[in-house]
A and B are shown apart, each in its own frame.
Chain A
Amino acid sequence: MSRKADEGSSVPKVKIWVMGKEYKVPSSFTIMTAMEYIGYRFKQGIGCRNGYCGACATFYRVKGDYKLRPALACQEIVKDGMVIVQIPFVPAKKTIYDIDKLEPSANAIFENYPEVARCLSCNTCTKACPQNLEVMEYVQAALRGDLEKVMHLSFECVECGLCAMRCPAEIKPYLVARLARRLYAKYMVPLDKRVRKREEEIKEGKFDKELERLMKMSVERLKELYEERRLS
């Protein structure tokens, strides 16, 4: 859709700036759709388009305001006077750990992310979160080993990384939360009895025949079965 084609059309438009250049885009578009409208093709910083994967991390400022605001480009509707920049990647250190060798405590957090001890409680991370999570609260909970609280407060985190980009202590809250949730799930939640039972059944070979049957099936027959499936 070229801009020339709908110049003069009655679709309401707003002015936005991308990489410093001014554009007019339909006012009902999200940042992502607006950028595609003006000709950008996303190769990075795009994923589910549904506010779930965290790939389209964006910072924007509305002219007249001094504050930088966080957004997920696929969710945020454009505003008149919006100045946009994207952060498709956060160069966070990838810590490698063996979850079997960690203890569910604050020290497991420190072992992998010692910089958590630098937290100033300044709340910048909370202000940078496009999901409105209480980031500072869960970083503080991690610092004192309250993994359950971290789990509850960070559950909806999409790991967009904007908090890490703004933190003055260079903490990566989303990675700290990920470790805390993993520790919680592994050590602090009792394993569902039904899961255990299913594990046993698999080991005993209860589903071997069924699996073999499916694996021998043709692609067409599989497609047929899929179309006819009933979700009971």
Chain B
Amino acid sequence: MDLKEKVESIGAVDVMACVQCGLCSGSCPVRFTMDISPTQVIRLIQLEVIEEIFSSNTFLTCSTCFSCQIICPRKISVTKIMEALRQIILRKGQDLINVGGIPGEELRKLPPIALVSNFRKTTA
């Protein structure tokens, strides 16, 4: 299965519907810390340029805020595209966070919701 098919199957999205308008990147609150924009990531998926997608931090930075999803004029869920990219890594059994490396004093302070939501996004 090629990357586009995988993303479309996990996310139930139509990646080819994207016309590269850039609204998703404009509305993304964490765009400032991403290597490449969400718009660019979608273009790379359309073109099957796999390595550049997974060596960037874009899909790891996504905070699942759905801002992109509601603003997309083509009604694409960009959030689900980012999640699908995450799942491709996680389903290989690779964690995206070192659970053992979280300092004890952090674990003592953090609300359960922070750990639960984080581990949902970063652990396999």
Residues of A within 8 A of B (CB): 103, 106-108, 110-111, 114-115, 117-118, 143-144
- Give 5 nearest A-B pairs by CB, closest first: A117-B115, A111-B107, A117-B116, A110-B107, A118-B119
- Cβ contacts A to B, 16 pairs, < 8 Å: A103-B108, A107-B108, A107-B109, A110-B107, A110-B112, A110-B115, A111-B104, A111-B107, A114-B102, A114-B107, A114-B115, A117-B112, A117-B116, A117-B118, A118-B120, A143-B112
Please, how many angstroms separate the alpha-carbon atoms of A111 and B110 in the complex? 10
Interchain nearest-CB distance for A164 vs B (Å)? 16
Nearest CB in chain A: distance from B115 CB, A = 4
Q: Is B50 an interface residue (CB 8 A)?
A: no
From residue A103, how far is it (CB to closest CB) to chain B in Å?
A: 8
* Majority SS at the chain B contact face: helix
Q: CA A115 – CA B97 in complex, angstroms?
A: 12
Chain A at the B interface: SS class: helix
How many residues on the B side are at the interface (Cβ–Cβ under 8 A)?
14
Q: Is B65 an interface residue (CB 8 A)?
A: no
A118 to B118, CA, bound (A): 9
- B119 A117 Cβ-Cβ under 8 A: yes
Indicate whether A107 sits within 8 Å of B123 (C-beta atoms), given known contacts A114-B102, A114-B115, A144-B112. no
Q: With A115-B99, A118-B120 given, name 8 new contacts (CB 8 A).
A: A107-B109, A108-B108, A110-B107, A110-B110, A114-B102, A114-B107, A117-B112, A118-B119
Residue of B nearest to A110 (CB): B107
Complex Cα gap A106–B109 (Å) = 10
- Residues of chain A within 8 A (CB-CB) of B115 are 110, 114, 117
